[in-house]
Structure 1
């Protein structure tokens, strides 16, 4: 079963599991680009600033399926993941629930967090937000003293919203934003990237207001980011790209906002300070995004840019790093993506394009790569230097050019990382 939004199946499935999603606190993050980075910052900062067990659920996985679920920033043990997943698949069949693959994956994450006594889980939305299976979580409840008396969502975050998955989420930014803003919960806090279009910001502010949620727009004016605990500079982040300024600022604002409730409720386990936050930022890891790797004797840049908005950011990095030198792009794109916004941003006439494929994605059988012939034809509109090779391993073994960039799909990036790991 492919993508099918809605909360009824996941709710039924979780009820058969004893509602494991009710045993943790959550930070829930939606957006088109940057939400994975925000989740990575959050889980890293919370791990260095508290004695809590921190879970994280992100998708799609990059190398292996179980990478989607982390405990204190390390992937859950493979045997635990598959043991829980198999139990959930069995329950799904026994009760004829008809849950999708992603709903089963989400339920697996919730069950693992429950079994592993996770205190705070950072949840990345899979698609949209309003009807995404991660959105079964409910808001936390606080007493008059500001202590958490019922676990749930402590804060939501919305990153930059762009055009993507229009066939499912809507054909305008506002329609897409309505879906993303569906994660905002009553009487909690929400933080949104303030560089979003004004129509998007207005809609999110309106939705937050109706729910009694405190809405914060972040738009830092410099690379020095002010927090309640002091200033953090963007250069402390190991993640590349100017756009990380927005992502790290959003994560830091969420930490600022949830800290008082954590201190009041769990004083002996909460040690948030400037030093602990700095350590968390410096320790953040988020592979596959402007990541430089070595394959045999070759240096390669990996980036999961797969839509127009992400291509703009990758182009900024290329322009600032490669001084208008020719680039060799190794490209594969998921079937159904609008190619023009991606390719028109990246490809120059002097660039060299090698169009390739990626294999079956574990747990996501509906995902397939665009036809290499179709992709090559589109690339040919921007440069005459286009070739096709279906084997990414063969390409990496034989590419002679410098300035090699693998992009167009996280699934392709994941295959390269898997090859490097196995090499």
Structure 2
């Protein structure tokens, strides 16, 4: 087996059956010896903000000399990014070895159940085996889609569960309303656990609180009124939170402050469960945290910001952040989204700030039609142009952009990852 074989198994559109339970994941883990049972977890679900919150918390734990595994998705440039210990990605050799060990057990499960496991289920099993093998003191486990029936929910009660946000995405799987989606994501709240979550809306907050009560879990809700003295710039954000003053983060945007605060409150929960985490480690960890592809500045002249906003909530955050950072500027946008998204509705959100919009499909099969999208944008009064590839967009910008231009690339993480690689 080589890495191409690994990717065919753990990162393709394989899988059958609408999951009604975690029974097949449970069977696979049982055949593996239940490696997940040897680990302690922080479990994270949410429409947006999971990766950033994971990055903030992982950085705090790194500063505290805690051996922490991190499992996130999707990746930007290579699949190894998804499985890390203290910032170091799983090596190709370890990825291949563990996948070779898991693959025959997958075949057994599929024969016994007459179903085909999803790639994410197999990848999660590989990650849990890796973290167990390396004796991680704690694992930050990010749910893929939803929570209740997500493969990551095979674990028992985590030390803390975090719900970062609730928005409209993956509606065919999770439900047509925010309330239905909230019910699915609240499925990571378990008996006698702790759940940390922000202020959302009365109906969503109520769903989280009801689930916490039913599981006898302790709810910890972030109050925006506790976040004070916020100062945003192109390079960092600074704020106060309760007894912590002048907290600086490099992840740009007002919403990242909320994600940082989720990490702060989680660190405090972990302190109460025996982990040594000093206030200085919290501040230093937040300052050092990086999460590529999310409001990330990759160039100064011209200014280039890339952001994986690809659902309505993410686009709203992007718009508000850009208005704060560049209130008087017109921006060049590059956009690429999947055709199953309400992409024109989301693109219209940035019309007021757009000098022009460059459209490119992020995927030849699942991406929108760039030419058709550009024509629609032009018909609504905004200059636009279609490109055949991400490379052609980058080449165009590198030859035509002025040093004082401000370019914002947003949409599918496939676009963001490819753009980031080619630009650099």
- TM-score interval w.r.t. the shorter chain? 0.7 to 0.9
Per-residue deviation, residues 325-358 of structure 1 (Å, max 9, x unmatched): 3322111102311224421211238531111123
User: How many Å separate the matches in 1 of 2:96 and 2:366?
Assistant: 24
Q: Secondary structure at the match of 1:215?
A: strand
Partner of 2:9: none
Change beyond 3 A, Cα 1:55–1:191: same
Q: Tell me if 1:75 matches 2:89.
A: yes
Change beyond 3 A, Cα 1:121–1:383: farther
User: How many Å separate the matches in 2 of 1:274 and 1:64?
Assistant: 34
Change beyond 3 A, Cα 1:91–1:310: same
Larger deviation, residues 329-338 vs 27-36: 329-338
Partner of 1:314: 318
Partner of 1:43: 58
Partner of 2:233: none
Partner of 1:61: 75
Aligned pairs for 1:15-414 within 5 A: 15-49=30-64, 51-96=65-110, 98-139=116-157, 153-194=158-199, 196-221=200-225, 222-223=227-228, 224-226=239-241, 230-234=243-247, 236-262=248-274, 270-294=275-299, 298-348=302-352, 350-359=354-363, 368-380=366-378, 382-399=380-397, 400-401=400-401, 402-414=405-417
Q: Which runs of 5+ in 1 are unaligned?
A: 140-152, 263-269, 361-366
Change beyond 3 A, Cα 1:329–1:417: same
User: How many Å separate the matches in 2 of 1:20 and 1:72?
Assistant: 20
Partner of 2:234: none
8 A Cα contact 1:389 1:395, kept in partner: yes
User: How many Å separate the matches in 2 of 1:173 and 1:252?
Assistant: 26
When the two chains are superposed, the root-mean-square deviation of aligned CA atoms in Å is 2.1
Change beyond 3 A, Cα 1:23–1:225: farther
Q: Secondary structure at the match of 2:59?
A: helix
User: How many Å separate the matches in 2 of 1:188 and 1:315?
Assistant: 36
Shift of 1:256: 0.9
Q: Secondary structure at the match of 1:348?
A: helix
8 A Cα contact 2:361 2:367, kept in partner: yes
Shift of 1:381: 5.2
8 A Cα contact 2:41 2:159, kept in partner: yes
8 A Cα contact 1:349 1:384, kept in partner: no
Change beyond 3 A, Cα 1:389–1:211: same
Per-residue deviation, residues 42-99 of structure 1 (Å, max 9, x unmatched): 11111212x3310001100111011001100222222212322233233212442621
User: Size of the alignment, in residue pairs?
Assistant: 389
Change beyond 3 A, Cα 1:381–1:124: farther
Change beyond 3 A, Cα 1:89–1:299: farther
